[in-house]
Amino acid sequence: MAQARRKFDADFREGAVRLVRETGKPIAQVARDLGINGRTLGGWVNADKRVRANGAGSLDEDERANGAGSLDEDERANGAGSLDEDERADLARLRRENAEPAIEHDMFQRLHGLRETSTRDGFTGTLARVRGISGLPPFILTLTRCALPLAALAIGLLSLTTARESAVGQYGLIQALPPLYFVSLGILSISFIRAWRSPQPRFPELILGVISLVVLLQAAPGIIESEPRFQVAWLHAGFTDFVARTGRVLPRLDARFNWPSFFTGMAFLDRAGGLPNAIILIRWWPVFINLLYLPPLYMLAKLVLRDAKKAMLAIWLFPFANWIGQDYYSPQSVAYLLYLVLLCVVLGPYGASRKAMIPRLRRKPRDNDTKNPPDDWHPQTPAHALTLLLVMLTLCAAMDTGHQLTPVFALAVVAVLVFFGRTRLLAWPGVMFLLAAGWICYGAITFWIGHISALFGGLGSVGGNYTGDLHLQLHESAAHHQVNDVRLLVVGAISGLAVIGFFAGRKMRVDRTAAAVMMLTPLVTIAGQSYGSEAGLRGFLFSLPGSLCLVAMALTSARMGLRLILTGALTAALIPAFLIARWGNEIFERVLPGEVSAATALYRVAPHGSTIMTLTLPATLEFTDIGQYQYQSGTIDTSASGGITSPARLVPGLARQLGRNPHGGYLIITISQLESARTNSGVPLSWGADVERQLTKSPLFRLIYSNSASKVYQVVGAHDYSQP
């Protein structure tokens, strides 16, 4: 966007040059901090160098063109025009020396985002004076500005304490959220956009805004729901406790134990910290891990967008766009953090060599090419390079041993970045491959042998791999169908804006190739792998860093006014969209206190070795005594010609299955299971009630525990069924 040419006085110019000279910061960064053009500042720095080299000197044509020319006007205004060349140089030097304390003070203020307090910058200065804030000290002014996001955070958190868990319905958590919560999100968004539109970066306010957003969005279920959410998180807590207690893993029990470093790491930490069990961690884990994502995401966005404000916009959108929900207590959540940090190294110190691997993709560097990081970003000494190598090896080793899928995405993205010349680590994909393959051949051999079809079965089933986890089934409820529609809309909006951003970024000083690679490579990579029908979701998660950078390009390519409207509109649309997309399955993904009580009671009575069966998934089980029981999950067949299996036929079948185990068999039915069956398979809730009635009537089962959320039955006459 074309900006009106501004004039800067000698004090300001000198202060800016000193900032570059004394802090060692890049010219571009100082220019951004001060809200001025990088070339203008570069001109001043060059002029200063010449003045210093020659003692003093007049400014040449270029320097005047770059904004330095106003010095002459100032001097003329001060009557210096009648002096000869040497006298003018001396006068300029003396004036600079006398002005130093004032310049330092001025620059100090500007560095703290107080450009408005200066009287030198037309519009913003006038605005600040009109608002009467120019007299405030920097610290107080920063605090004043941060009051709005802090107030929004406080209001939002307080409002959540008034929400009723029982109001969670078919559209999920959004039905339980109080209106004040939406007001707080609105205030937060206005506060962020207000700070973001300021010509001077107001980073404390922006950072606080993003942190508050993450806390408000991710803490909602933790505050509203009685028990930590998501059954799989409970299972992972059980795995962690098993490792913490025994110092062993059980690779034959569960595929996740073949990539156990998340569980071993958490068990290691739990023991050192004296934690009685890992369930304590799972309620606030999403808040914690999402906050940890922000620094590497910001660094990555800044590397791609080359601008701190654009990068802030990208990470502001991340909490909204990340509806996938893989940030619960899981190996994926930590592996994603490692993935982001690895990309920061790959694109940072080793970024942008511009040597595409095939000649026709090579682009001749232009003289004014500023897309590439300055040379001093690259490792300067062998010790520096070794330090970075150790960091990358540690990250990759933890990733390879901690999660099945993340190394695949990481390897693919780094390889394509190498291919397009965005990183100088030409051999690193090979190293990553060897590390991943090494672990598969050594640590994950149990899984490898037994799951060849699972690993390669998805090849060729591209459509199925993308849509498998969206539960687009014929029998799903209308509400669930709408929740899935919202999810698809979010994916479509982000992807559409990213495409626009890619083309809009042509004339920007950004690395849109790197962004496009980070966005597209994960989406292409998962085409060949079903990964338990979650491939599409994972692909979208891994594509987010790149796609959000492209979205930021799209939004910032518009004029300032339109840019603000678009950002505001997108935020306003994403608030409800996120709440539905992310927490839309809460009716069965939450964990009810009654379900935990039932499972605890079951583990108290069931002897080790017995079978525990659930009517259908999900089930809050296996959070204790890992490896001591056999688990089975029933499936509800809705495709049979006769419709859903009738309870009268189902119950004897369940008894037969459970009765085969001489140690005994138990069936647990919970509200979450029945809600899941209704939502995903269209099974009416009355069917669950019929099954329970049939179980109560049947002589094959005995009700041993019951509460409002769960019922536990024990199969009787097990020895009869165990006979051949």
CB of 523 to other proteins, least distance (A): 24
Interaction of residue 518 with other proteins, rule CB under 8 A: no
List the one residue from 101, 179, 276, 642 that touches other proteins (CB under 8 A): 276
CB of 688 to other proteins, least distance (A): 39
With the C-alpha atoms ordered 11, 13, 14, 20, is the resulting torsion angle positive or negative? positive
CB of 509 to other proteins, least distance (A): 8
Interaction of residue 621 with other proteins, rule CB under 8 A: no
Interaction of residue 244 with other proteins, rule CB under 8 A: yes
SS3 string, 177-198, reads CCHHHHHHHHHHHHHHHHHHHC
Interaction of residue 100 with other proteins, rule CB under 8 A: no
Interaction of residue 299 with other proteins, rule CB under 8 A: yes
Smaller CB separation from other proteins, 370 or 696 = 370
CB of 407 to other proteins, least distance (A): 13
Q: Say which DSSP state 423 is in.
A: B
For residue 66, give the nearest of 36, 108, 32, 21 by alpha carbon.
Answer: 36
SS3 at position 403? coil
Interaction of residue 246 with other proteins, rule CB under 8 A: yes
**CA geometry: angle at 135 spanning 131 and 140, to 5°?**
95
Q: Which residues 14-73 are close enough to bind other proteins by CB under 8 A?
A: 20-28, 38-39, 42-43, 45-46, 49, 66
List the one residue from 261, 290, 423, 680 that touches other proteins (CB under 8 A): 261
Q: How many Cβ atoms sit within 10 Å of the Cβ of residue 689?
A: 12
CB of 443 to other proteins, least distance (A): 8
Q: Which residues 428-467 are close enough to bind other proteins by CB under 8 A?
A: 443
Question: Contact region for other proteins (CB under 8 A) — 121-129, 147-155, 292-300, 459-467?
Answer: 292-300
Q: Which residues 633-652 are close enough to bind other proteins by CB under 8 A?
A: none
Q: Which residues 394-423 are close enough to bind other proteins by CB under 8 A?
A: 394-395, 397-399, 401-402
Kindly determine how many residues on this chain lie close enough to bind other proteins according to the rule CB under 8 A.
Answer: 80
Cα distance between residue 286 and residue 329, in whole Å: 7
Smaller CB separation from other proteins, 267 or 579 = 267
List the one residue from 91, 211, 275, 488 that touches other proteins (CB under 8 A): 275
CB of 413 to other proteins, least distance (A): 16
Interaction of residue 292 with other proteins, rule CB under 8 A: yes
H-run or E-run covering 593: helix 593-605
For residue 585, give the nearest of 286, 224, 281, 175 by alpha carbon.
Answer: 175
Interaction of residue 172 with other proteins, rule CB under 8 A: no
For residue 201, give the nearest of 38, 34, 39 by alpha carbon.
Answer: 34
CB 300 within 8 A of CB 336: no
Smaller CB separation from other proteins, 202 or 302 = 302
CB 651 within 8 A of CB 634: no
Cα distance between residue 705 and residue 161, in whole Å: 31
- Could you write out the DSSP letters of every residue in 137-180? -HHHHHHHHHHHHHHHHHHHHHHHTT--GGG-BTTBGGGG--HH
Q: What is the dihedral of CA 399, 310, 326, 393, to 10 degrees?
A: 0
Cα distance between residue 45 and residue 43, in whole Å: 5
Q: Say which DSSP state 229 is in.
A: S
Interaction of residue 266 with other proteins, rule CB under 8 A: yes
Smaller CB separation from other proteins, 40 or 672 = 40
CB of 269 to other proteins, least distance (A): 6
Q: Which residues 380-399 are close enough to bind other proteins by CB under 8 A?
A: 380-381, 383-384, 387-388, 390-391, 394-395, 397-399
Smaller CB separation from other proteins, 287 or 342 = 342
Interaction of residue 247 with other proteins, rule CB under 8 A: yes
Smaller CB separation from other proteins, 90 or 369 = 369
Q: Which residues 315-374 are close enough to bind other proteins by CB under 8 A?
A: 334, 337-338, 340-342, 344-345, 348-349, 367-370, 374
Contact letters for other proteins, residues 177-216 (x by CB under 8 A):
----------------------------------------
List the one residue from 71, 128, 220, 243 that touches other proteins (CB under 8 A): 243
**CA geometry: angle at 544 spanning 566 and 447, to 5°?**
160
List the one residue from 50, 89, 129, 268 that touches other proteins (CB under 8 A): 268
CB of 151 to other proteins, least distance (A): 27
Q: How many Cβ atoms sit within 10 Å of the Cβ of residue 199?
A: 16
Q: Which residues 525-584 are close enough to bind other proteins by CB under 8 A?
A: none
SS3 at position 231? helix
Tell how strand 611-614 and strand 665-670 pair up: parallel
CB of 240 to other proteins, least distance (A): 10
Q: Which residues 473-502 are close enough to bind other proteins by CB under 8 A?
A: none
Interaction of residue 514 with other proteins, rule CB under 8 A: no
Cα distance between residue 205 and residue 217, in whole Å: 18
Burial 690-703 (b: 16+ CB within 10 A, else e): bbbebbeebebbee
SS3 at position 703? strand
CB of 108 to other proteins, least distance (A): 14
Cα distance between residue 699 and residue 322, in whole Å: 49
